[in-house]
């Protein structure tokens, strides 16, 4: 499995991916699932992937080839809008899937999150399906997830509700990742984060290892806070159930 | 979908089920998924179901028939241990599935949680698979879930970590249900709860409607507590990422 999430805040974008891959529990590996793509000074792209690792790698190879091939009819350097980048990515994804699906089947499918900024356009985040189409974040739902999305979703919704800033969103993203990794062994460290401030056209990348002291501290404080929350829940009223009040 | 959960505490058992059924979003209904089964003064059973409603209903009919048929080779009144009740239930489940699978296919499968107490045996909770076998709770994992289990699991794990009492566990069970219903529209109120104190052989049943004042209050306090928790998370250290500290 995989867990990747991306959030759009007023000041920028946050991306977080795990690195665990598995082809059965006796074949667990570590592969990067967050990629910063360089395609010019007026644009920046972050790509996150879930699903077939083989399809992901071939899509990445094709993106690179199109960027260096002067005869390419389209590339991340030529698209004018982020949604065109998503459709371009979707086309590559469909082509690679079509190439391998006859032998691999549905297991050849990959899903991507593509985020970034082109020129003065508002930074955005889009989810590209194996079928080649996409959805994007909105002001009411400013995050996207791929892979094992259910365990960590409540924290992202909480961040939306709290209108958090970029730094707090980063903490919450890590909390969402830790919740997911705790629940599903097929999601695990190290974690790759990408942090983008609007208009900078530069993504700050960092890899957070399992033994990172801050990650441990964050986890402990979060658990303590949750346990504390339990003690503040209101008592069940007598009329709801006599013997439990 | 469905969400049912059951927890074993030192003092007793807690069961909570939603009631929503759907055969497509334009065909949503309300059906009881929590059943207290009466089979004698020295035993008490609570049954929760997920999956095929038709299979569930036929299993319930067969349980009732066996209880009233003097010629039945086995019933919930004759079993000597809770695990035998689980195997009996598993046999009925397999039989009903086998009867309808040729026409219905995998959609005929149902999964059950069976909890309760027989005589002086320690109260227990078991999960009965469509294949007829079972697993049971343990002291380290004292809860079971069926249906849409992922969204609400973190709260149950928190309750385990906090070694909560029966009343607090009931609040946490409701919190787990509310989290799940919030995330998945196919899980919804009213909710049926069953509360059992060890040795009483009597299950206190209650139905909690959507507009219940306590449910709303619990939800609000819980959200407030979580939002408050966010403000207590430790700052991201400068060495982890300079520009975000």
Contacts (Cβ under 8 Å, ≥6 apart) of A234: B214, B217, B218, B221
How does pLDDT run across A228-245, given as a tens digit for each residue?
998 899 998 887 776 553
- What is the phi/psi pair of residue B188, to 5°? -165, 170
Predicted confidence at residue B95, as pLDDT, reads 97
**What pTM, to 2 d.p., does this model score?**
0.89
Q: Do A229 and B226 touch (CB under 8 A)?
A: yes
Predicted confidence at residue A243, as pLDDT, reads 53
Quick one: which H or E segment has residue A202?
Answer: none
Closest of A2, A93, A89 to residue A46, by C-alpha: A89
Q: Please count the CA atoms within 13 angstroms of the CA of A224 that sit on its side-chain side.
A: 9
Radius of gyration of chain A (CA): 20
Q: Do A170 and B244 touch (CB under 8 A)?
A: yes
Q: How far is CA A192 from CA A7, A65, B69, in A?
A: 14, 24, 63
Minimum distance, in Å, between the CA of residue A4 and any CA atom of chain B: 17
How does pLDDT run across A43-80, given as a tens digit for each residue?
999 999 999 999 999 999 999 999 999 999 999 999 99
Radius of gyration of chain B (CA): 20
User: Which residues share a beta bridge with A36?
Assistant: A46
Structure tokens at B45: 């059973």
Residue among B157, B222, B237 minimizing CB distance to A214: B237
Predicted complex: ipTM over 0.90: no
Predicted confidence at residue B199, as pLDDT, reads 96
Predicted confidence at residue A23, as pLDDT, reads 78
How does pLDDT run across A103-134, given as a tens digit for each residue?
999 999 999 999 999 999 999 999 999 999 99
Flag residues of chain B having pLDDT under 50.
245
How does pLDDT run across A169-183, given as a tens digit for each residue?
999 999 999 999 988
Q: Do A230 and B197 touch (CB under 8 A)?
A: no
User: Which residues share a beta bridge with A237?
Assistant: none
Q: How far is CA A185 from CA A20, A21, B135, B195, in A?
A: 9, 10, 20, 33
Among the residue ranges A151-155, A158-162, B51-55, the one predicted with the least confidence is: A158-162
- What is the phi/psi pair of residue B183, to 5°? -85, -30
- What is the phi/psi pair of residue B28, to 5°? -105, 135
Q: What angle do CA A44, A18, A10 make, to 5 degrees?
A: 45
How does pLDDT run across A190-225, given as a tens digit for each residue?
999 999 999 999 999 999 999 999 999 999 998 899
Question: Which of B7, B192, B241 best tests the A interface by mutation, with the highest count of A CBs <10 A?
Answer: B241
Where does chain A have alpha helices with state H? 53-68, 82-104, 153-162, 166-183, 213-231
**Residue of chain A nearest B222, judged by CA positions:** A233
Contacts of B159 in chain A (CB under 8 A): 230
**DSSP β-ladder status, A191-197 and A203-208:** antiparallel
Residues A89, A95, A97, A99, CA torsion sign: negative
- Using DSSP, state whether B132 is helix, strand or coil: coil
Contact with chain B for residue A220, Cβ under 8 A: no
Q: In the predicted model, what is the mean pLDDT of residues A22-37?
A: 89
């Amino acid at each position: 499995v995989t867990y990747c999430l991306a959030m759009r805040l007023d000041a920028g974008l946050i991306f977080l991916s795990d690195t665990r891959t598995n082809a059965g529990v006796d074949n667990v590996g570590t592969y990067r699932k967050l990629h910063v793509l360089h395609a010019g000074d007026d644009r920046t792209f972050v790509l996150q992937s879930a699903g077939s690792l083989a399809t992901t790698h071939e899509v990445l190879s094709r993106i690179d080839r199109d960027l260096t091939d002067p005869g390419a009819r389209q590339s991340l350097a030529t698209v004018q809008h982020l949604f065109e980048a998503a459709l371009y990515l979707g086309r590559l994804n469909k082509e690679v899937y079509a190439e391998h699906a006859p032998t691999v089947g549905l297991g050849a499918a990959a899903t991507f999150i593509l985020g970034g900024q082109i020129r003065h356009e508002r930074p955005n985040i889009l989810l590209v399906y194996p079928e080649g189409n996409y959805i994007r974040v909105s002001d009411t739902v400013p995050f996207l997830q791929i892979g094992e999305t259910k365990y960590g979703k409540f924290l992202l919704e909480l961040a939306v509700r709290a209108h958090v800033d970029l730094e707090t969103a980063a903490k919450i993203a890590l909390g969402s990742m830790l919740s997911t990794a705790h629940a599903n062994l097929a999601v695990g460290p190290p974690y790759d984060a990408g942090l983008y401030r609007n208009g900078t056209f530069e993504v700050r990348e960092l890899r957070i290892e399992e033994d990172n002291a801050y990650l441990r501290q964050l986890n402990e404080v979060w658990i303590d806070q949750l346990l504390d929350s339990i003690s503040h829940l209101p008592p069940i009223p007598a009329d709801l159930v006599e013997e439990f009040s």
